[in-house]
Amino acid sequence: MANMAQAIRMALHYGEKHLDVKDVFGQDVGPPMGGVFTATQGLDTAWNTPLDERGIVGAAMGIAMTGDICVAEIQFCDYIFNTIDLLKIAGNTNWVTNGNATLPMVLMTPVGAGIRGSVYHSHSFDAWASRLPGWKVVMPSNPLDAYGLLIAAIKDPNPVMFLKPKALLRVRGQELLPGEPENEKELKAMIDAPVGDRSQWKAKWPELKDHNVPIGKAKITRSGSAATIVTYGRHVLMCNDVADDLKKNQGIDLEVIDLRSIYPYDWSCIKQSVSKTGRVLFVNEDTEVTNFAEHLSYRVTHELFYELMARPRVLAGKNLPGIGLHANLEEASVPQVSDIKSEVLNLLKEVP
Amino acid sequence: MAVQAQSKVRGSKSKTKSGSSGLALPKQVLIKIHDLMLKSRVLEERMIKIYKVGEAYFWIGGPGEEAFGVPLGLLANKGKGVQHDWLHLHYRCSSTLVAMGMDFLTPLRLIMNKATDECTGGRNFSNHYSFPEWNVAPVTSPIGVQYSIAIGTARAQQRSKGKGITIVTGGDAGSAEGDFASSLIWASRRGSELPMLITVQNNKWGISTHFDEQHGENHVSDRGQPFNMRTTVINGNDPIESYIRLEEEMAYIRKTGKPVVLESTVSRLFGHSSASGANPIDEIDCLSDFQTLLLKKDILTEKNIKDLQSGYEKEAKAAQDQVRTEMTPQASSIWDNYFVGNETGNWREF
């Protein structure tokens, strides 16, 4: 099975071959590196830019204004903050022109902790991105969804931010992408650039097919009735582990929702689940003060108050200026499996 | 108003032509430029009046930039698509758009915040235009961002290998933003040069802060020199010099695909905006200077000018009267066009 970096690469190849993507660009995105996580290796349309995040976002906006489709990358979301006013403009362009100027662009950026990335390779951006009206914001938790969400993002006529959970980029999926060879080694030989001289190397792409994960649609990854966990990105895997553990060892059936889209989000999925369970925990790793999950928690409280059996909870990253490098520091800063389990058990204990 | 007297060019030789006028441009071109400069000035003064009588919340615009703006609009290859020129304008460029064919109704609908305002639907300030059919990018209030965004349209034009170029305008104060440096860096990469006309309209002011408090460089355009870019400084208060120099630089960009940094010295005749009163300031007035020249050369008469002005004033007043009767935006429209195709962005409806 492809890992997420390979899935992103294949979605981009599908985009340049079938969806008229004309430019994939960013720092170290083109040859020879093909992206610091290898997600852009072998693409015909990939090129390197100056180390200039504002230029990267501005260029994407300009290309999109011409109607050409492009996918730009900020190498780590930790370095996206100096583009925030451009991101605001990208989000408001369609609205402020009352629909006469559109920006069909995709901006990718790796997010989150989990790789011992220290202070400036561990930031999250989901809560920030949710405060950029006009953008659609997605974050996959597995390679197949990464493939489908990125294709959906390329097809979308709005600016779409594709958040890559960096700790999952090397994680393999459990389902084949449409057109992906079954043998992992065969895939690797086809699309992974060789170590050393790559000047003559060209990718041999499999015959990939379309796959659409609709933006705004969540996915239930574990079904249950005891409580709902709403999450996305790498914490889907952690929440699934907690659900599997509690089911196996304590007979507790948790429902886990992989939100996949942060904006627009799948309220009907959340509502249906929380109406069934009466208990909900929101989990993500962005900092906890004015976290996106607080909006969801507010909405649950406001609209489903009389169906709740316990107070909604938000488990997020600590409101710290950064993520410390040492494992003890990183793990104490963002939610871990043990934190999720503990919070779920507290949620289940509460008596109305 | 000597064509070559005040221009300073690095990397190019300025050429002048003799026309039927005895000046460096043909008589018909001079008459056309004057007509559009006057029309633009009347438009700006009408907008200031609209603000002052309380029919607009705010005015910001470009009286004083006509001698540069009109030639720019006349020389731009107007149209939609990368084969035509892309324009990333700042909010003092009404004269460029008048030269491209903008009527009085469009800017008045914008400043008077009408639902009929085709650029923003009543959502934004005066002179914040957006004309996709002419490749005019939306004008923004944040200073300087257009220099970064222009990189993208130039990239698309470079990729298409056509003759379309990207034109970006901005003020001298805005060149302090990193976006200006971005445009220099991206436009000048060896082997990947971009077809960009990077311009700076130097009016010596950033709101209330003088040029000398903000800059150490002699000319803003000098910043292009370390990037091996052709740079030039022109007298933007002289429409003849502006026309000739712009034509020359645009031809160079179309021919070579390489960028130019062009700085034009201009005036700011009514201050920064209505926030500073929008009252006349004693600076060089490019329009009256040009009229003096055309009168002296017997290209126009006092009566020609008076009739022209009176006609445009009537037209502008009639446009105001019409716009006043038009619909204002409805409160219920705030969510319109959140996403393309009116897909809802209102979370209450998810």
Whole-number average pLDDT of chain B: 94
pLDDT of amino acid B4: 39
Query: Could you say which of A13, A18, A121, A302 is catalytic?
Result: A121
Element holding B263 (H helix, E strand): strand B260-265
Q: Is A211 a catalytic residue?
A: no
Enumerate residues 113 to 172 of chain B having a beta carbon within 8 A of any beta carbon in chain A. 117-124, 130, 132, 137-138, 140, 142, 145, 147-157, 159, 166
The token duo for A110 is: 């790796």
Average pLDDT of span B221-242: 98
For residue B19, is pLDDT > 70?
A: no
Residue type, A202: K
pLDDT in tens, A270-290: 999 999 999 999 999 999 999
pLDDT in tens, B39-86: 999 999 999 999 999 999 999 999 999 999 999 999 999 999 999 999
Domain A219-349 top-level CATH class? alpha beta
Enumerate residues 260 to 319 of chain A having a beta carbon within 8 A of any beta carbon in chain B. 263-268, 295, 299
Instruction: Give the integer Cα–Cα distance in Å for A128 and A284.
Output: 13
Q: Where in the sequence of chain A do the CATH 3.40.50.970 domains occur?
A: 4-191
For residue B134, is pLDDT > 90?
A: yes
Q: Where in the sequence of chain A do the CATH 3.40.50.920 domains occur?
A: 219-349
The token duo for A191 is: 């699309």
pLDDT of amino acid B3: 40
Residue in B125, B133, B339 to test binding to A, most A beta-carbons within 10 Å: B339
CATH of domain A4-191: 3.40.50.970
The reply to whether residue A50 touches residue B189, judged by beta carbons under 8 angstroms, is: yes
Nearest CA in chain A to B144: A86
Closest listed residue to residue B245, CA positions, set B184, B199, B194, B214? B199
The reply to whether residue B138 touches residue A158, judged by beta carbons under 8 angstroms, is: no
Pairs of residues, one from chain A and one from chain B, whose beta carbons lie less than 8 Å apart:
152
pLDDT in tens, B97-117: 999 999 999 999 999 999 999
Q: Which residues of B touch A85 (CB under 8 A)?
A: 142, 145
Enumerate residues 135 to 194 of chain A having a beta carbon within 8 A of any beta carbon in chain B. 136, 157-158
pLDDT of amino acid B22: 78
Per-residue pLDDT band for B10 (boundaries 50, 70, 90) equals: low
A60 interfaces chain B, CB cutoff of 8 Å: yes
Average pLDDT of span A330-340: 98
Instruction: Give the integer Cα–Cα distance in Å for A49 and A25.
Output: 7
Q: Rounded to a whole number, what is the distance in Å from the CA of A78 to chain B's nearest CA? A: 19
- pTM summary value: 0.96
pLDDT in tens, B291-307: 999 999 999 999 999 99
* All structural domains of chain B: 20-326 (3.40.50.970)
Q: What percent of chain A has pLDDT over 90?
A: 99
The reply to whether residue B156 touches residue A68, judged by beta carbons under 8 angstroms, is: yes
pLDDT in tens, A114-148: 999 999 999 999 999 999 999 999 999 999 999 99
The reply to whether residue B339 touches residue A158, judged by beta carbons under 8 angstroms, is: yes
Residue type, B139: V
pLDDT of amino acid A136: 98
Whole-number average pLDDT of chain A: 97
Report DSSP state, residue B328. Answer: P
pLDDT in tens, B281-337: 999 999 999 999 999 999 999 999 999 999 999 999 999 999 999 999 999 999 999
pLDDT in tens, A30-60: 999 999 999 999 999 999 999 999 999 999 9
Q: What is the CA radius of gyration of chain B?
A: 20
The reply to whether residue A101 touches residue B137, judged by beta carbons under 8 angstroms, is: yes
Q: Which residues of A touch B132 (CB under 8 A)?
A: 100-101
Per-residue pLDDT band for B15 (boundaries 50, 70, 90) equals: very low
For residue B252, is pLDDT > 70?
A: yes
The reply to whether residue A97 touches residue B130, judged by beta carbons under 8 angstroms, is: yes
A49 interfaces chain B, CB cutoff of 8 Å: yes
pLDDT in tens, A228-262: 999 999 999 999 999 999 999 999 999 999 999 99
pLDDT of amino acid B5: 37
Instruction: Give the integer Cα–Cα distance in Å for A148 and A162.
Output: 11
Least confident of A234-243, B150-159, B269-278: B269-278
Does B20 or A254 have the greater pLDDT score? Answer: A254
Average pLDDT of span A10-24: 98
The reply to whether residue A216 touches residue B350, judged by beta carbons under 8 angstroms, is: yes
HEC readout, chain A: CCEHHHHHHHHHHHHHHHCCEEEEEECCCCCCCCCCCCCCCCCCCEEECCCCHHHHHHHHHHHHHCCCEEEEECCCHHHCHHHHHHHHHHHHHHHHCCCCCCCCEEEEEEECCCCCCCCCCCCCCHHHHCCCCCCEEECCCCHHHHHHHHHHHHHCCCCEEEEEEHHHCCCECCCCCCCCCCCHHHHHHHHCCCCCCCCCCCCCCCCCCCCCCCCCCCEEEECCCCEEEEECCHHHHHHHHHHHHHHHHHCCCEEEEECCEEECCCHHHHHHHHHHHCCEEEEEEEECCCCHHHHHHHHHHHHHHHHCCCCCEEEEECCCCCCCCCHHHHHHHCCCHHHHHHHHHHHHHCCC
Instruction: Give the integer Cα–Cα distance in Å for B78 and B153.
Output: 14
pLDDT of amino acid A228: 99
For residue B137, is pLDDT > 90?
A: yes
For residue A15, is pLDDT > 80?
A: yes
pLDDT of amino acid B9: 55
For residue A192, is pLDDT > 50?
A: yes
A61 interfaces chain B, CB cutoff of 8 Å: yes
The reply to whether residue B153 touches residue A63, judged by beta carbons under 8 angstroms, is: yes
pLDDT of amino acid B11: 59
